[in-house]
Structure 1
């Protein structure tokens, strides 16, 4: 009983740290995970069993993709893509922001969405400044596009990586089941532009000057870009066939990362600053705490409570909304790590694997509701403060995205019911 009380205390303390957005959140969560190991709250929490506690397939996949993105970033690829998006807008603000949102969504589906926003945020602010519109509104649309794009694939955002590795579902199945919803929600977010962004013709003159920039000037090393892009495409293709190849996705990502470093003539030290170490250690700490909660039977009680919903279709809807609410308040990654063992328990009782898609959609959509819903939200707001001196309050962010999230959750609920009905 003492172990359960201490475990719950550490677990809820970790969530308090996350919600309070205190400094060094990842370090504190990792520390709490270490404390759980030192106190031996779980017999499995030892160095010999660490690979069963911490999902190193998730850690390796994230690390590998971060390295590839770092090398790709050094070639000027993202800057080129940003300028092309502005040029395609032809001086029209709504068209320009729409193109930027599409570019952000597509790249976020296959790259780390935080890195994607880091590259595109300055362009969003530049466009806002040139058109003399509120940059906070444009930023929120960029954040939504990043989250929506990340929701489309297994590697697009950390929650999907966790779900993919825990469920054993294939890379292709994520695209087949989640990409249609992602595409639909992207279209709806673009429709939001008419109500969120307005501009007169006179102020669009600045956009036309910006569109005259030559995108090819952004490329710093054409040969390296071609080589790294080839490795990146090959890595994505290998992800799609990883089941047939019988190779863990972490090994594929790390292989691609190592080859990228070799062709770029770089060492691990050269890209160390580009790797989001906070994210990796945050995962390790959270995995440890969740493992303790699971081993002590504390999460099975939560799962048993959810399993009281007898209707399988209703259970899918409940999970969509539950994961969305939890994700918006507790952040997407912690919510996913907690719900994964719950879903495993329910599937063990005979429920359908559709439950995985329910939490993926719920967390993916709910992350857009609040400024703390996902890491990309927090990063985007900090960039807004740094570049423009403006900020987005909790209320402003909520008001901007509420109608979109509510619409998405209703559609996702119907989508899940239909999916379960037809056995897709």
Structure 2
């Protein structure tokens, strides 16, 4: 009983740190994870067993992709892609914003979505300046597009990496099941959210001048761009065939990272500042805390309550909406790490494995509801404040995204229910 109380105190302490958006959140969460080990809340929380507690397949995959992206970014590839989106818009605001949303979603499907937003945020702010509209509105469209694209693949969003690693579902399975619904949701987002900027008086003359920019000027090293782009494509192909190759995705990502560094003539020290170390240590701390809560039996009790919903169609719908609400309030990554053991418990009881898709879609869509729903939301709001001096309140964020999220969740509930009933 004492261990359960201590585990819960540390666990909710971590959530308090996350929700309060305190400084050095990752350090504090990692510290709480270490405290769980020091207090011996689980016999497995030792250095010898650390690989059974922390999912290093997730950590390695994130680290490898961060390094590859950091090298590719130095070539100017992403800046070139962003400018092309503006040029294809031909100076028309709706068309330009629609293309930017699609570009952000597509890149977020194969890159970490935080990195994608960091690349596109300056372009969004540039467009808002050119047409003289509130930059917070374009920033929100970028955040939502990034979340939608990220939830479409196993590697686009950290929660999906956690789910993929824990479930054993393949990279291709994520694409087959999540890309179709993500495309539909993206189309709905474009249709619904464009109205937030089209109603204002805009000056498209500045946008036409921006569209005249030569995107090739953004490329700083064409030869290196081609080399790293090929490594990136080979890494993605490796993910697609990792089951056939019988190689962990983390090893494929780290192999691509090492090769990128060799081709670019750079060292780990050179890219150290580009790696999101806070994210990696944040994950490790949460994995430790969730493990402590799990071994004390608390999560099993929670799973037991959910398992009372013996009618499977109801369970699909409940899990989709429950995970969405939790993600909006507790953030996407903590929600995924918390609910993964619950999902394993339910599937161990004989419930369909398709429940994983309900979890992935619920978290991916629910993350769009609040400024703390995902890391990319928090980063986006901070970039807005840093570069434009504008702020985006919790209420404005929630009010803008709520109609879209409700419709998207309703459609996704039907979609996951059909998947479950068909056993697909």
Instruction: Name the TM-score, length of structure 1 as normaliser.
Output: 0.99
Residue 103 of structure 1 corresponds to 103
Residue 361 of structure 2 corresponds to 361
Residue 7 of structure 1 corresponds to 7
How much does 1:194 deviate?
3.9
Residue 34 of structure 2 corresponds to 34
Q: Is the 8 A contact 1:133 1:198 kept in 2?
A: no
Residue 248 of structure 2 corresponds to 248
Residue 332 of structure 1 corresponds to 332
**1:165-204, aligned counterparts within 5 Å?**
165-198=165-198, 203-204=203-204
Residue 289 (1) aligns with residue 280 (2):
no
Q: Is the 8 A contact 1:94 1:193 kept in 2?
A: no
Cα distance in 1 for residues equivalent to 2:280 and 2:200: 45
Cα distance in 2 for residues equivalent to 1:167 and 1:112: 20
How much does 1:355 deviate?
1.0
Residue 205 of structure 2 corresponds to 205
After superposition, the CA RMSD in angstroms is: 0.9
How much does 1:202 deviate?
6.6
**1:109-120, aligned counterparts within 5 Å?**
109-120=109-120
Deviation track 1:326-354 (CA, whole Å, cap 9, x = no partner) reads: 00000000000000000000000000001
Cα distance in 1 for residues equivalent to 2:102 and 2:336: 26
**1:220-299, aligned counterparts within 5 Å?**
220-299=220-299
Q: Is the 8 A contact 2:133 2:200 kept in 1?
A: no
**1:370-389, aligned counterparts within 5 Å?**
370-389=370-389
Instruction: Name the TM-score, length of structure 2 as normaliser.
Output: 0.99
Cα distance in 2 for residues equivalent to 1:41 and 1:50: 14
Residue 45 of structure 1 corresponds to 45
**1:115-194, aligned counterparts within 5 Å?**
115-194=115-194
Residue 415 (1) aligns with residue 387 (2):
no
Tell me: CA distance 1:220–1:48, structure 2 relative to 1, closer, same or farther (3 Å). same
Q: Is the 8 A contact 1:93 1:199 kept in 2?
A: no
How much does 1:199 deviate?
6.0
Which ranges in structure 1 are unaligned for 5 or more consecutive residues?
Answer: none
Cα distance in 1 for residues equivalent to 2:99 and 2:201: 19
Q: Is the 8 A contact 2:355 2:420 kept in 1?
A: no
How many residues are treated as equivalent by the alignment?
424
How much does 1:59 deviate?
0.1
Cα distance in 1 for residues equivalent to 2:271 and 2:202: 44
How much does 1:192 deviate?
2.0
How much does 1:416 deviate?
1.1
Residue 73 of structure 1 corresponds to 73
Residue 349 of structure 1 corresponds to 349
How much does 1:411 deviate?
0.3
Cα distance in 2 for residues equivalent to 1:41 and 1:422: 42
Residue 18 of structure 1 corresponds to 18
Q: Is the 8 A contact 2:132 2:202 kept in 1?
A: no
Corresponding residue SS for 1:380: helix
Deviation track 1:286-335 (CA, whole Å, cap 9, x = no partner) reads: 00000011111110000000001011111011000000000000000000
Cα distance in 2 for residues equivalent to 1:194 and 1:368: 16
Cα distance in 1 for residues equivalent to 2:333 and 2:193: 28
Cα distance in 1 for residues equivalent to 2:263 and 2:38: 42
Q: Is the 8 A contact 1:64 1:256 kept in 2?
A: yes
Corresponding residue SS for 1:203: coil
Residue 392 of structure 2 corresponds to 392
